[in-house]
Every structure is written in C-alpha cells, then in structure tokens.
Structure 1
Amino acid sequence: MINHLLTPSPPHLLIFMHPALFLDRDGVIIENRARYVRRWEDVEFFPQALAALAQIRHTPYKVIVVTNQSAVGRGLITMETAVALNDRIMDVVRQHNGRVDASYICPDTPGQETGCRKPLPGMLQQAAQEHQIDLSQSIMIGDALTDVQAGRAAGVRISALLHTGRGQAQAAKPEAQALAPFPIYADLQTAVTELILHPYLLP
C-alpha cells in the first residue's frame, strides 16, 4: 500500500480528530477504463468532480483518495508508473483549487491480498491512524459496492455510491440488495452538496 502526501503532526502538538471524505478515484474523480488507467492518455476527469473538490476546500473534512490499482499486481504497469499517474491526477485536482490531503494506492489483485484492497478497510484504517481521522464522523464515496463495503467495515458514518463510473451497473447487482440501504447520488458534486455542504437537507 502506497501513501502520498503524508505530513505527520509534530508530537508535541495537541491532536484533534478530523472527519474525512474518503473517495475512490477511478469512476469518481476520473473515468473508469476497462483496460485500466495505464497512461496519461487514459485519464479523463469528471468536471463536476473537480468542482466538488474545490467546493469542499474550506470544510473541516480531510479528503483522502483510496484506490485499488490491480493493474500493478497483474504486471500491466509498474508501481512507479501508477504512483506517477496518481501524482499527476492529484496535481490537476489542486490546479482546479481542489482539496486532496492524501492518497493511497493498493496494488493487490483479487486473491493476492495484503489487507489493503477494498472491500477490506485497510487503506481507510491506515489513513485514520496517520491523519488523525475520526472514522465515525467520516464519509466514503465510490462507484462500486466494494467501496460501500470498505466504508462500512471501517466504521464510517455514511457509505455512498455514485452513478458515475460503474455505479449504475453496481447498483443493479443482486448483491446491492444485501447491502441496502445506502445513499446513491448522480455524481460527486451532488453527493458533496447533500452530505457535506447542505447536510440539513437530508431526511
């Protein structure tokens, strides 16, 4: 598991716990690719996602990206390439005044797991330890049922699914009924507006 942008707090300071917005990357911030995101030409941003990450810039929420990248474990790209691509993606988010406090990459393939691959909660738990995050006040948003499962396994307050990326197909799976209820939103901007910017509108 690779963590970027880690800035630990000095040990002599009082530590305050923060809520976090955990985000999947592919299908949430950028388009999913059937053959994986392996080069910069594969990257296509969702404009509404860039807008959403700018809108929450000054909220109390830390923004943590947690992404499964099994293309590494499958030998399709190197970890160095995956890290470089991810860094460039996060740079574009910041160029649009978006907030990203840290990002985590899990290179595992299904069946070759070390505990970080979603639906396991390893990346969220590591982020909570390293960034003083209160999981019980945090939110997980993704485009796959495994994102919902990872959030629940980590004990976050809300795990939500988007219709971007694989979300619509995932919501139609029989397995979704077993996980229900969980909120489903059209895109990241809609989710951020309802869950973070205007939570008083929630039923």
Structure 2
Amino acid sequence: MIMKLVILDRDGVINYDSPQYIKSPAEWRPLPGSIEAIARLSQDGFRIAVATNQSGIGRGLFDMATLNAMNDKMMEMVFRQGGRIDALFFCPHTAEENCNCRKPKTGMYEEIASRFHTELKGVPCIGDGLRDLEAADAVGAQPILVLTGKGKKTQSDGKLPRKTLVFDDLADAVKHLTAPHS
C-alpha cells in the first residue's frame, strides 16, 4: 500500500502570516478551518509533514525556544481536534545564506522523502507562495496553491507551475484530497 503523505507550508496556510514575521506563540493564530482540516487529513490516513522557511531565526527576530513554542501550540491544537502532524521541518536561514533547505530549493522536501522512506512524485504540497510551489514542482510533487496568506498575490503574478491546483484555503484543498476518487 502506498503511503498517503501531504506536505504543508505553515505561515499563510495553517496560520495568519505577517510581513513583520510571526515571532511569538501569541502572534501565532490559526486560519479559520485550518486546524480541523489537518485533523481531517490525519483521520483520512494521511501522514502530515510541515515544511516552513523560518528566516526570523536567522534574522535574530526569535530563537529556537520561541519557534518550538509556536509549533507546540499548533500541534496541540491539531491534537485536540483528533489529528496529528507527523513531522515538522524548517529552514532557519535567510535568503542571503543561499542554503539548500530554504524553499524554493528542495532540501527540506528531500529530507521529508528520506524521513518517510518515500518518493514525492504526486505528493500534495500545499503552500501560499511561489517558492512552495516551485520546490514541490522540482521534486515531482503536486503543487497546490491556497488563496490565503500570500496566495492571491501569488496567483495574480501568473508564474504558477503548470500543474498547480488552486483552492480558496486549506479546508477547501483538504475536501478535494479526502473526497472519494473513482
């Protein structure tokens, strides 16, 4: 049996984003329906990985303890809805550091494939920014754009990878992913 895996971006997909970065658990607030959507994926048998650029660490805006506290809040909320996030991957670097893990590069996605012992071909990768979609496309995954966060701007820029699916929000994308397919 093939493992059902989905990769989610965090800021702008699961929670509200801010041009000033999300820097504390108090600032971390879920988007409407996102926590329930993740729980629904879990209950439908999906393994869930979050892959998120967190350059706020590299910029000195917050530290690892704060990032962990934000992620703990998210994971606890998902758990209370009857779901779980199986793995969380993040890039702490700034764009200037030119690392391999910062999306649109594929390092985080390759690490996810290795951790889950699976190929990413066709795996749904849900994001609100072009770099999320480009990283997904580069590893043969299925890029999915949500119109929350930076999603509307990303869509209007018109540079989406050819096979990108577009949904209003995470809950809408999850309805599609969990619908019975004939």
Normalising by structure 1, what TM-score?
A: 0.83
> Could you report, residue by residue, the CA deviation over 1:19-69 in whole angstroms, capped at 9, with x for unpaired residues?
310000011110001111111221111231112112122333210000101
Q: Which structure 1 residue ranges, 4+ long, deviate > 4 Å from structure 2?
A: none
Equivalent residues of 1:63, 1:100 under 8 A apart: yes
Taking the aligned partners of 1:80 and 1:93, their CA distance within structure 2 comes to 20
Q: Which residue of 2 aligns with 1:115?
A: 100
CA apart distance, 1:180 = 3.2
Question: Paired residue for 1:186?
Answer: 168
User: Structure 2, unaligned stretches of length 5 or more?
Assistant: none
For 2:148 and 2:118, locate their aligned partners in 1 and report how far apart those are by CA, in whole Å: 27
What displacement does 1:155 show? 1.7
CA positional deviation for 1:17: 5.4
**1:47-196 correspondence to structure 2 within 5 Å:** 47-156=32-141, 158-176=142-160, 179-194=161-176, 196=177
1:163-196 Cα deviation digits (max 9, x unpaired)? 01110011111433xx3341110011111111x2
Asked if the contact 1:18/1:132 (under 8 Å) is kept, the reply is no
Structure 1 partner of 2:20? 35
> Deviation digits for residues 75-96 of structure 1, max 9, x if unmatched?
1111232122212222222122
Contact 1:143 1:162 in 2 (8 A): yes
Question: Alignment partner of 2:43: what SS?
Answer: coil
Looking at structure 2, the residues matched to 185 and 53 of structure 1 have their Cα atoms a distance apart, in angstroms, of: 15
Q: Comparing 79-88 with 182-191, which one deviates more in the overlay?
A: 79-88
> Among the aligned pairs, what percent are the same residue?
32
Given residue 8 of structure 2, which amino acid in structure 1 is its aligned partner?
Answer: L
> What's the C-alpha RMSD, in Å, of the aligned pairs?
1.7
Q: Deviations over 1:90-148 (max 9, x none)?
A: 22221222221011111111121321100111111101111223311411000001110
Q: What is the distance in 2 between the residues matched to 1:87 and 1:193?
A: 25
Aligned in 2, Cα 1:148/1:105: closer, same or farther, shift over 3 Å? same
Answering whether residue 178 of structure 2 is matched by residue 197 of structure 1, we say yes
Structure 2 CA distance for partners of 1:172 and 1:199, relative to 1, 3 Å? farther
Query: Aligned pair count?
Result: 182
